[in-house]
A and B are shown apart, each in its own frame.
Chain A
Amino acid sequence: NAGVTQTPKFQVLKTGQSMTLQCAQDMNHNSMYWYRQDPGMGLRLIYYSASEGTTDKGEVPNGYNVSRLNKREFSLRLESAAPSQTSVYFCASRGYTYEQYFGPGTRLTVT
């Protein structure tokens, strides 16, 4: 039982490059979330998916797209990376209770 897994753990991109962050959970949770954490700050919600087949914007969605591929997987895509997207990205999932389970994070640097 791995919980929430994220790949990659680290990534360096040049401005304008694209990439997809992968997230998977094995807890059969309906809801999944993507957050970003900038240095010295709390997490901010980028996008979320309340259930398979649905996605919606969070607080800071600009520059990102998401795909809820199936119940297990929720990916985050940066189409044209910018230095302002340098951050640590966390994926989380939630079942029927209040608790969100977080993945280990992806540290992304855009130069």
Chain B
Amino acid sequence: AQKITQTQPGMFVQEKEAVTLDCTYDTSDPSYGLFWYKQPSSGEMIFLIYQGSYDQQNATEGRYSLNFQKARKSANLVISASQLGDSAMYFCAMSAKGGTSYGKLTFGQGTILTVHP
């Protein structure tokens, strides 16, 4: 079974500063993927970034980067230069990469990020 833990119910950051959202995971699958999604108040799920368990480098997508520490089983999201539009709920999720579990996402409980001007 897979488990995702997000221990920060809420985070606050000043506009233009960087913020790190924590995510730890547990799985017995040897190959897996880690995801971050953004859910603004309008409710849609927006894909941000992906990291494969065997990827050598940490993933980056624009202002988003994923700080992947495999030995610690952590996959923290770093948002640089925060903008007011970054205020939203953020979910960490994972999926096994093989067998019948491929593509089935397990989500954490989310972190609400508020960006102050």
Contacts and interface: CB of A to CB of B under 8 A. Distances in A.
Contact of A31 (B4, B35, B47, B103): B103
A40 interface: yes
Which of B35, B100, B105 has the largest count of A CB atoms less than 10 A from its CB? B105
Question: Is the contact region of chain A dominated by helix, strand, or loop, or is it mixed?
Answer: strand
A97 B104 CA distance: 13
Interface in A41-73: 41-45, 48, 50, 56, 58-59
A102 B105 contact: no
Interface size class of B (residues with CB under 8 A): 20 to 34
Contacts of B100: 50, 56
Contact of B109 (A41, A50, A59): A41
A39 to B, nearest CB: 11
Interface string B26-48: 00000001010000000111010
Contacts, number: 57
Which of A42, A44, A48, A100 has the largest count of B CB atoms less than 10 A from its CB? A42
Contacts of A43: 45, 91, 93, 105, 107
A74 interface: no
Interface size class of A (residues with CB under 8 A): 20 to 34
Interface of A: 31, 33, 35, 40-45, 48, 50, 56, 58-59, 88, 90, 92, 94, 98-102, 104-105, 107
29 contacts: A31-B103, A33-B104, A33-B105, A42-B91, A42-B93, A42-B109, A42-B110, A43-B93, A43-B105, A45-B104, A45-B105, A48-B103, A50-B100, A50-B102, A50-B103, A56-B100, A92-B45, A94-B103, A98-B33, A98-B35, A98-B50, A98-B52, A98-B95, A98-B103, A99-B47, A99-B50, A102-B44, A102-B45, A104-B43
